[in-house]
A and B are shown apart, each in its own frame.
Chain A
Amino acid sequence: MNDNSADGGILLECRSVTKSYSGTTVLDKVDFSIRRGEVHALVGENGAGKSTLVKLITGVTNRDSGDIVFDGKTVPLEHSRKLSQELGIAVIYQELSLIPGMTVAQNIFLTKEPLLGKTRLIDSKKMNRMAQELIEKYEFPLKATDFIDRISIAQRQLVEILKALSGHASLMIMDEPSSSLTKTEVEMLFRIIHSLRAEGISVLYISHRMEEVYALSDRVTVLRDGKLVSVLDKERISPAEIIRLMIGHKLEEAAIHHQLPRIESGVVLEVEGLTSVGKFQDISFLLHEGEVLGIGGLVGSGRTELVRALYGIDPIDAGKITYFGKPFAPSVRASIAAGIGFIPEERRLQGILATQSVTRNIGIPNLDLLAPRGVVRVKAEQEYSLRGIKLLNVKPPNPDQLVGNLSGGNQQKVVLAKWLVRDLKLIFIDEPTVGIDIGAKEEIYDHVRKLAGMGVSVILVSSDLPELTRLSDRVIVLRKGKVFHEFKECMLTSEMILRAASGITEGSDEN
């Protein structure tokens, strides 16, 4: 083993790695390197290729071409999770890889438990002592005998880190480690990252939160559309610069400048002080007739949780909802009866019945009209289905087609159709165009705007910044479960939304 850790030599080097999924290149000849004992941040918009790069490094998927060298050893094209662990690459998952019913010590030493003398029995006392020593060395607020299900998410991450340390990892990959942590917990995580660095362990940090990247990193690699954009050294790291690089040329595109109009129509929905413990807190806003209200924010900021609660899927702990001037207690049935529709985030899991026909899919939420006495009026159902297919231009226009066999875009059209055939007043739309081709995307955008034109109010949740910018009449940005900023009656750009979502207040950081 060559010892160049003292001069901060290279621990991991990726040269011109390329990966494509079914014809689409998601990583295009990316060069990437991590030095020994550095904290390296990897940033980029959704779909920039960050997670793919991590998957290639950890062996979850294999690269198509390019070289990866770790600790002086060339990683073969046939990479695997097991091999990456043997090399000393550890990934800190949020809670995925811990066993709930077991103690902290049991989790740290899983499959590596110390044994009693020459027997095959586990020496629990020794194991607890070893775990406690490890905990004390890093001054973690943990006890070796605590059960995993009784400790907080932040503490679980610490256990993950200890588990990796006990396995002698030299690279620790943290994917959005702070997304579910409180402020004090994040500070603790930062201290730990610093002590890891002091030990010569490299940390690859993936985060959407600019202030964290700014505070933590020795270097930052920016990816955009599967390509390497820039590698910034410590002195060049600033939130504004990173955001500029992340969004890049897209800034010049006219489509994503959008003048937010003045809204004078009546109020449809009024939300006051809405709280759901651990998800979102003290949310208040107004929604007007025929308005598209965009909800922006990072993943985990509480956007999906908010619309789910408003539609009545998840319970609310505190707050008041007024719908057309009357107090409204959301439940799915009450919402449907009141002319509210919902298009969920995970199309395949929550949106469609894949093994059922287009007709059945469109019929399901409309059974109150189609089967008032319990028996479905098949003819009426067919009519609804044909109307929906025509309205949204579903291809192929076959009402008996199984929805699972349609393309992603057409599946989403069916999901839209099942609400559009009824008399809607308000619709929640969560991430409508994930995994959909450009053509179908445009069609869905048209329908959203058309709906608003007909007086239907829309609440749109999206991580796709240009989409949110283009479609919305007004945007509220959530951050850590609270309303951080509201954009109205102004010229809106994607960059403004991203800055707000990253916690940058306008005017405080102009350079």
Chain B
Amino acid sequence: MSRQAVRRIILLALMLLICLMISRVNPIFFSVGNIMKLFQEAAQTGIVAVGFTLVLIAGGMDMSIGAVIAVTSMVCVNFLTYTKLPVAVFVPISLLVGALTGLFNGYFITRFKLPEFIVTLASKSILSGIALVIAVKDSMGFVKNVYIQNETYIWFGGQAFGLVYRATIAFVVLGVATQIFMKKTRAGTNIYATGANAQAASLSGINTTRTVIGIYMFSSICASIAAIFISSRMMTAMPELGIGSEMDVIAAVVIGGTSFSGGQGDLWGTMLGAVFMALVKNVILKMGISPWVQPIVIGGIIVITVIFDVSQKKLAEKLATKAKLRKLALEGGQAAA
């Protein structure tokens, strides 16, 4: 069995165990309402995580995703407050925030060979500022909490058939489509190749610059899409919305088995990881533990996952070396005989 399969089975078993334990303490956990909310929560992180997975597979890093959520929702709030434009017009416009941010990130990273981390961190800072500048203000100049009442906009945050949240449906569709794209198209293959060995990829004729710019745009657009679902579900938005959510996203992707060194990982893992993160948060809530504990738990989970991956790899290498030594000893014996 592959290492990946082993870790997925462990992850599923762990989730099952958590579910069983929590349902003992709090029977409400298995109610339809809670389960639907759990998957809705998973979708909010998961939609962003789909884009982020591609960034990691291509060997990059994107720290700006949270700030993209903030700016996108601020753009929507502005349209809702100051214009009468229909949702079908301004939502696509607001997604441009993501597209432009990704273009900016990708361009600076490839054109000037800048470290991904620095470029996207700078974008994060710039976007956080823009979110504050364009936020709707009251007459005193303070940021106003806008209540979103536009029915069409709120539709995004609602449930289909009174059951599944539309965000969840979007997440599943996006995840499955991206998985097929990654595994079944040339462009997807190019992304894996670029992340695994950029030099080899470009020697094989892959335009790595275009690939890298493309994945940063995809990542930011995913964050913009998530912003629509989050703000419409909350029926409000503030300029800090989504900032800091990078940690949840990174945790979901890493738990899903996508490696920081690039060239590895898939969307099935990320989808599983997003559900796992939502489950952990839900459990913290349902156990009556303070929500302030969440970041501590998330940080801990990331560290444990990475340690698990590294030690799994080391163990495999150790076994391989031992096998080789034995083979050498065997050959030596034969030579002597």
A contact set with B: CB distance below 8 Å: 81-82, 85, 96-102, 106, 110-111, 113, 115, 120-122, 124, 163, 275, 277-278, 281, 317-318
Contacts and interface: CB of A to CB of B under 8 A. Distances in A.
B190 A97 contact: no
Interface string B176-212: 0000100011100110110011011101111000000
A111 B204 contact: yes
B110 interface: no
Interface of B: 180, 184-186, 189-190, 192-193, 196-197, 199-201, 203-206, 263-264, 321, 324-325, 328
7 contacts: A96-B199, A99-B197, A99-B201, A101-B196, A110-B201, A121-B184, A317-B325
B192 A277 contact: no
Contact of A120 (B185, B199, B264, B324): B185
Q: Which residue among B204, B206, B321, B325 has the maximum number of chain A CB atoms within 10 Å of its CB? A: B204
Interface SS of chain B: helix
B196 A110 contact: no
B204 A122 contact: no
A247 B324 CA distance: 39
Given A111-B190, A318-B325, A81 B203 contact: yes
A331 B328 CA distance: 25
Contact of A122 (B185, B196, B264): B185
Nearest to A122: B184
Nearest to A147: B2
A163 B200 CA distance: 12
Given A81-B203, A281-B328, A317-B321, A99 B193 contact: yes
B223 to A, nearest CB: 26
A278 B325 CA distance: 9
Given A97-B203, A99-B263, A122-B185, A110 B193 contact: yes
A317 B326 CA distance: 11
Contact of A111 (B199, B206, B264): B206
B263 A110 contact: no
A84 B201 CA distance: 16
Contact of A113 (B180, B189, B205, B325): B189
The 4 A-B residue pairs whose C-beta atoms are closest, nearest first, are: A97-B200, A99-B196, A110-B204, A121-B184
A99 B188 CA distance: 14
B204 A97 contact: yes
A196 B193 CA distance: 28
B200 A99 contact: yes
Nearest to B205: A111
Contacts of B325: 277, 317-318
B186 A120 contact: yes
B321 A277 contact: yes
A317 B328 CA distance: 12
A399 to B, nearest CB: 33
A481 to B, nearest CB: 11
Given A96-B199, A99-B263, 6 more contacts: A82-B205, A97-B203, A102-B193, A106-B189, A121-B180, A277-B324
Given A120-B186, A122-B184, A100 B263 contact: yes
A98 B199 CA distance: 10
B6 to A, nearest CB: 16
Nearest to B207: A111
Nearest to B265: A101
Given A110-B193, A111-B186, A122-B186, A101 B204 contact: no
Contacts of A277: 321, 324-325, 328
Contacts of A115: 186
Nearest to A123: B184
A159 to B, nearest CB: 12
Contacts of B206: 110-111
Nearest to A315: B321
B170 to A, nearest CB: 23
A153 B210 CA distance: 31
B189 A85 contact: no
Contacts of B186: 111, 113, 115, 120, 122
Nearest to B197: A99
A230 to B, nearest CB: 33
A165 to B, nearest CB: 14
Contacts of B189: 102, 106, 110, 113, 122
A275 B325 CA distance: 9
Nearest to B206: A111
Nearest to A281: B328
Contacts of A124: 184
Nearest to B329: A318
B266 to A, nearest CB: 10
Nearest to B201: A99
B205 A100 contact: no
Q: Which of A111, A115, A122 has the most CB of B within 10 A?
A: A111
B162 to A, nearest CB: 36
Contacts of B184: 121-122, 124
Nearest to B187: A120
Contact of B264 (A96, A101, A110): A101
B315 to A, nearest CB: 16
Contacts of B321: 277, 317
A496 B204 CA distance: 42
B263 A101 contact: yes
Given A113-B189, A121-B185, A122-B189, A102 B203 contact: no
A137 B49 CA distance: 44
Nearest to B203: A97
A194 to B, nearest CB: 27
Contacts of B324: 277-278
B54 to A, nearest CB: 15
A21 to B, nearest CB: 22
A28 B328 CA distance: 47
A329 B319 CA distance: 23
Contacts of A111: 186, 190, 204-206
A121 B200 CA distance: 23
A101 B184 CA distance: 15
Contact of B197 (A82, A100, A106, A278): A100
Nearest to A282: B332
Contacts of A85: 205
A486 to B, nearest CB: 21
B15 to A, nearest CB: 26
Nearest to A113: B186
A85 B202 CA distance: 12
A110 B205 CA distance: 9
A163 B204 CA distance: 9
Contact of A98 (B190, B197, B205): B197
Contacts of B193: 99, 102, 110
A97 B184 CA distance: 22
Contacts of A96: 197, 199-200, 203
Contacts of A122: 184-186, 189
B268 to A, nearest CB: 15
A102 B192 contact: yes
A317 B324 CA distance: 11
